[in-house]
Amino acid sequence: MATRSFLLALCTLFVATGTVRARPFTVLVYNVENLFDADGISVYDDYKPNIYTPFHMRTKVATIAQVVSKLDGGKGPDIMLFQEIEIDRSPNDEPSAEARLVAALKMRGITGYTVISGDDSVSTPHEDGHPRAIHCVVFTRFPVKAVRNHPTESARNILEVELQVDGATLYVFNNHWKSGASDPAMEKIRVANARTLRNRIDQILKADPHADIIIGGDFNSQYNQSRRFGGTMLQTGINDVLRSQGNELAVRGLDRDLYNLWFELPNEQRGSDVYRGEWGTLMQIIISRGLYDYRGVQYVDNSLAILKVPGLNATEEGTPLRWSNAGPAGSGASDHFPIYARFVTVNDNQTTRWLSLQNPSRNDESPTQAVKAPERRYDLTKAVDLTQFSDAAEVRNAGNMGKLFVVRGKVMPGSRIAITALNDVWEVWIPDAALRSRVKSQWREGMTVTFHGLLGQHSGKWQFEVEREDWVKP
């Protein structure tokens, strides 16, 4: 379904007046973890002016630009698919988050893009009634032939951008499916996401079985979702409906026409994000059979890679260095690593000749268990003692966000875990569901408890996050 889309052109917009010179190019997929502007008009409370300042915003876009600059000799990829960029609601001429990123890229000499923002302004709200805050955005140096937005109820629009690459047509789909990869209830919405996308893919392939299609984004699904959660999900969006699979040779036929590039890597190397101590593969690039023939655009075999730079977007342990508002300027990058793959144009115009593959994956069997991620190391002996402060106001500032505290307080009543300390209320968030359940059963109203926690905010409320079991005193 075609709807209005917003196009923002960089100062050095690349315009093709004819067939351009054939050359290799890179496609990057990057969830930038809520890239917001700093105008104070935000659906998310975590991006209000008292928490998220212009200094934070400038740090964030500069970091993203620095990550992008690590590819293609510093000039950046020719196509970038971003997720979690704020839908602009500024009533004035305040630059949008996209424009801020454009400026940061330009500062590093990375230019030449047309910017296409997904049009989620006409979409229905989320299933909980909350308005949409973020959307998908595509940066491309290739000429744009058409833009289409594909809505799904209770989900973000899928953004389709039809490009002209060396005279060939390339379809690019940017996705950000419903969150909660392990949640069967949320999987129903992802199934609807997949059905929307699959219907459009079928329409394209019916007209041209060898169409060149790149599908990327944050699918909030594991690449092997049906194997990981087959016991709780009768149908998965990514595998059963979209039919993403891992037999690379099978795409030459008509029945298994999409190949997931995660299968290019060994099992232990598949990971773009970490959740509850396990590697996830929410970021994905999926390609059609047309990328294997000798017409138009062709995939460069075994080129899928994860872009991680220690100290910039990766921790010492090799996990994502996620964004933090801690300090006056903030730090970190995103809770997802970007992934990328390389492509090239070919002029043979042969759809019956196939790319020769080295060690192609011949089946889509994969582990049912996730690969364990290395744990972030914290020195509990260096935790800040909350009792050294006289009141909560001394603690609640940007300079302390992200710091590890040792906390002593009394348990509050209610379904959510919270304590009182320094004559104020603090929420306690425990990501691990099993540990959270145990703490709820052991901590009684009025009981004095001691634990370690990272200071942060969620929806405008101050909280301590307990990441490990040994952070909770017996």
List the CATH number of the domain containing 399.
2.40.50.140
The verdict on residue 183 lying in a domain is: yes
DSSP-derived secondary structure for 9-22 = E-TT----SSPPPP
Give me the pLDDT at residue 19, please: 36
137, part of any domain: yes
Find the domain containing 79 and state its range. 6-354
In a domain, 371, yes or no: no
Query: CA–CA separation, 228 vs 61, rounded Å?
Result: 35
Q: Are residues 217 and 296 located together in one domain of the fold?
A: yes
Would you state the pLDDT for residue 124? 59
Identity at 298, one-letter amino acid code: Q
**pLDDT score of 31:** 98
Q: What pLDDT score does 16 carry?
A: 34
Indicate the DSSP class of residue 218. E
Residue with tokens 């009141």: 391
Q: Which residues contact 238 (CB under 8 A, 6 or more apart)?
A: 190, 194, 219, 221, 222, 223, 225, 226, 244, 284
Same domain, 327 and 391: no
The answer to whether residues 217 and 270 belong to one domain is yes
3-class SS of residue 111: coil
Same domain, 97 and 183: yes
Relative to beta strand 79-86, strand 25-35 is: parallel
In a domain, 170, yes or no: yes
462 CB contacts (<8 Å, ≥6 apart)? 392, 396, 426, 427, 455, 456
Asked whether residue 142 falls in the same domain as residue 265, the answer is yes
Per-residue pLDDT of the chain (474 residues; tens, 9 = 90+): 444 343 544 333 333 333 334 689 999 999 999 999 999 888 888 888 888 999 999 999 999 999 999 999 999 999 999 999 999 988 778 899 999 999 999 999 999 999 999 987 655 566 556 788 999 999 999 999 999 999 998 899 999 999 999 999 999 999 999 999 999 999 999 999 999 999 999 999 999 999 999 999 999 999 999 999 988 999 999 999 999 999 999 999 888 999 999 999 999 999 999 988 899 999 999 999 999 999 999 999 999 999 999 999 999 899 999 898 777 888 999 999 999 999 999 989 999 999 999 999 988 888 888 888 887 888 999 999 999 999 999 998 867 878 899 999 999 999 999 999 999 999 999 988 889 999 999 999 999 999 999 998 777 789 999 988 999 976
Please state the pTM of the whole predicted model: 0.86
pLDDT recorded at residue 474: 67
Position 129 scores a pLDDT of 63
| Rounded-to-integer distance, Cα 142 and Cα 116, Å | 12
**Residue 96 maps to a domain:** yes
